[in-house]
Structure 1
Amino acid sequence: MPGSQTANQPLPNVARPYRVAIAGTITNAATGDIMPQAVVRITAAPAAFAEGVMALLVAAIAHRPDVQAYYGDLIAEWQRSSDPLATAQRLLDCLEQPLALARPDQTQSGGDGHYCFYDLPAGSYTLTATYILPHRGQGVTSAQVEVCPSDRRLSFAAVDLAISLVPGACPLTVVGDCSPSRFMEGPEQFWHVPAHPKVETLSH
């Protein structure tokens, strides 16, 4: 894809990015302008993807007993959670910067508005895109997409997302879940505008 978008980190056991799985463009729903630096997160995914994210975390903290002890409750919660991806993402939110982790579940749109995810297991995904214009407005939208198994390198699901911005300076997180988390401090308010995305599968 053209542009300078931030590539997501492939899941463990993937030597290097091999195949684009999902790609698209983030735009302003009102103007059609591109939106660079929009955060795009996978907020629902097949079990294989959630397991891969947790495997990345387990490897990252394998030699950090201090981290294991501090986040022991959350690690244990992941093992019995009905939503293991959300639990793994709460861990990533906490550990991404301290451990300098590149996230397999999140990326940013580049200067041309493009984003992409590499090497995803086949299945149904939900993408949540967030954009914040400091002191002026913010917006978040989401879309569902199906990643199909393919041995073609240029076969991917194209998902273009249009975000409707609303005025204000209320806190906004990239997580596509309006329920409060005990791992976040302070109240959170969300503006969530349903997407009308362009979703298609391209193959060359």
Structure 2
Amino acid sequence: MTNDHREQKQVTITTGPIYVAPLGLWVPNDKLIITLKNPTHKKLRAQISLGLCPSPNAPVALSTSVPLSTSVDTFEVNETEINLGSFKVDPMTCLRVEKRFDNYELFDSVIRLTAFGDFEICEDSCEPICGLLEITSVVGFSGYGGGLLTALPAEMAALNQAYYYYSGLLISDPSTFVPYGDWVLCDTHCPCDSSSSSSSSDDHH
């Protein structure tokens, strides 16, 4: 019988802010995919939320006469918090969480993913390590609504219509990919804080 993992405190990790360009490899970025991998023989859990700061400007057709700015520009945008859900990941499985966005919601945006759950954290470095859940994320083009499809061979377009419309990405934007090792612990009390403080204290003796 398989039991849920309850042997250690669940932790919160985050991608930090990710800039999502309007186009990834000349197609619109309109879909987010988060992959959870459970390499253990126990059921593990994670709750995932998305912080979305939309583009400071509505999408418009760019003019070839737009002047170049030599100043430093700043754009402050309010964040919208989106709860993507709580997930139970069965032993030795991969769970994909996919969300497609409409109306240019990811156009020129900044996103930040946060996951709370059964992740293993190294006590020395406070970095995520193997042992429990592993997580990655990427943004790309779903293939929905045309776009690149008009330039694809008929066979590939048919494959997209039959498959990518429902799941996955036709093209991923590599600049948005966050591997598991790049997620950052954001718990208030990091396991390595005490060891760092102890080391610092010892240096002063």
TM-score by length of 1: 0.31
Q: Relative to total residues, which structure has the larger strand share, 1 or 2?
A: 2
Q: Relative to total residues, which structure has the larger helix share, 1 or 2?
A: 1
TM-score by length of 2: 0.31
Larger Rg computed on CA atoms: 2
